[in-house]
Structure 1
Amino acid sequence: MPSNVVLVTGVSGELGGRLLARLGARSDLERVVGVDTAPPVPGVLREPGRAEFVRVDIRNPLIAKIMTSARVDTVVHAGPTCHPAGSGGHSAIKEANVIGTMRLLAACQNSPHLRKLVVISTTAVYGASSRSRAVFTEDAELIPAVATGYSKDAVELEGYVRGFSRRRPDVGVTTLRFADLVTPDFDTVFTRYFSLPLVPTVLGFDGRLQFLHADDALAVLERATVLDRPGVFNVAGDGVLSLSQAIRLAGRVGVGVPRPAMSPIGTALRLARRVRLSADLVRLLNFGRVVDTERLIREFGYTPRWTTREAFDDAVAGRRGRVTA
């Protein structure tokens, strides 16, 4: 049964805003409502379509009233953030990711019209360590990379989603574990990191990385919204890049430093508003993380158009063509 009224969270973000415009352009959807504490980027709502914006915090009980009055049957939770690019504190991100998800799920729990929930998660739920699997499938144990951080928040978020699924078995739940996004016109932690003139790395480590192009992320989200594809799916471009390969492809110079030195370097970069090198991210750069996408291809019915290498090359080429201050 096709979706008719869709609610999208996190539409002030680059991914959520573009998803709102993309869904709003579909003639088979009756209504698409985007919610966030700030409006989408300019141009999203000017495009012809059914997209509209309501300024509301998903932690506010008003979200439940909006869902009921609009008769929302599909919720796409595009708000969660992993590996934020900027200098903001973790506590604010945790509040939005974890507490926001809890409040949104409470509203979904009591919604009489809801039949589908799509949630963005991250491959960071698998952690990154010397004991990690060579390749993670969706049934792997979820182990945060650090005791407190964005990967732990993502594990908590998925736990709340599983609890909701048990309480509302009538609602189809799709959880999409995205690899890190890279694309020319998105501000992400990796586009910032690989734009540094000298890229700091930890001596003796060269992690294997996977990336996801925003075009594939949007295509997967749209497909999950308009089709019934319940389950948990890894979403990443085919293939891998080592950290050293990525630095060379970006035309940068890697500077190896002792592990203890990464913390003060990360603090300096954050204070300079260049990039946030969280403990989660440093462990990923050190140990890497690779996921299997066979379930996405076989059961979900989507094969990413961009490989990891192609997505990274596109991001690098696009950023080189932009004028930066």
Structure 2
Amino acid sequence: MPRVVVFDEFGGPEVMHLVEEPVVEPAVGEVRVRMEAFAVNPLDRMMRSGTSPAPVPLPHARLGVEGTGVVDALGPGTTGLKIGDPVILTAVPDASARGSYAEYTTVPASRVLARPAGLGITEAAAIWVAYSTAYGALVEKARMRPGDHVLITAASGGVGRAAMQIAHQIGAVPIAVTRHAARKDELLAAGAAAVIATDHADIAEAVGHHTGGTGADIVLDLVMGPGQQDLLKAARPGGTLVAAGFLDPRPTPFPAGPPLTIFGYRSFEHTLDTVVVKRMAAFLNAGVRLGALRPAVDDTVFALDDVVEAHRHLEKGLNGGKKIVVTAS
């Protein structure tokens, strides 16, 4: 029988284990996907450890919010897809019940898209969450335009790297923020127009230098916490801050500083909206076709049997911000 990754209690990577389950037939309007690979995301770690913002029912909880595979079966009334189509998952809102850490999963047909031509399986498994989050925050929320100076925190992570590439595709100017100066060359190579290392520079002063004194038009805060106060000082009056992360568990003080438009953002806000997903898909396909959008995938690709090691790899930071991929077949 097909295998599925589940966990019965919250804790470290070792709480995950493989079980065999019968193949589930897709319901009305659903598809069954034979998974080929999935990516490991910070949300997966939060769900597994019991720190997810949404409740995770135990026991026998599943994991996984993105991945790629092949349509294996169609539910009654499902149109627009056929068996054998390569697809990527665009949303798994009930990941604890139907997550992508499995050899097969069923999802609504509206939650899959044709796999972008030109992407290998490992890249396709790792592209959607980071790029849809960055696109939704910058383009749909902040209305990023050509010439905008965009300040991006946690720039070496998956969403940060995607945000830099998307800014370039739009014609904006991405300014990367990192905690360590040692990451500077890596981030410049990844597409940053400039890099600010907080262990060597004051963010507001550095942004002023890189923007001719005007400040950042858009701030993408993927960290949150007390450090957001420094980002506010780096924004121009009338600019936009999008709070789209949760890497710092400490409380985020009430924003104070220049007048800004401030948005909170979570990817499901748009990935469950079929109209926006259509725009996201068009943008993503164009970027892949032009070579402008390409996910950074860790050199170590894990097998399904080694999913515990994949999570340990993430927790130790051995991926250096690149996406970790696990093959499911």
TM-score category of the 2 structures, normalised to the smaller one: 0.3 to 0.5
User: Where is the helix percentage greater, Structure 1 or Structure 2?
Assistant: 1
User: Where is the strand percentage greater, Structure 1 or Structure 2?
Assistant: 2
The two structures have a TM-score, normalised by structure 2, of: 0.33
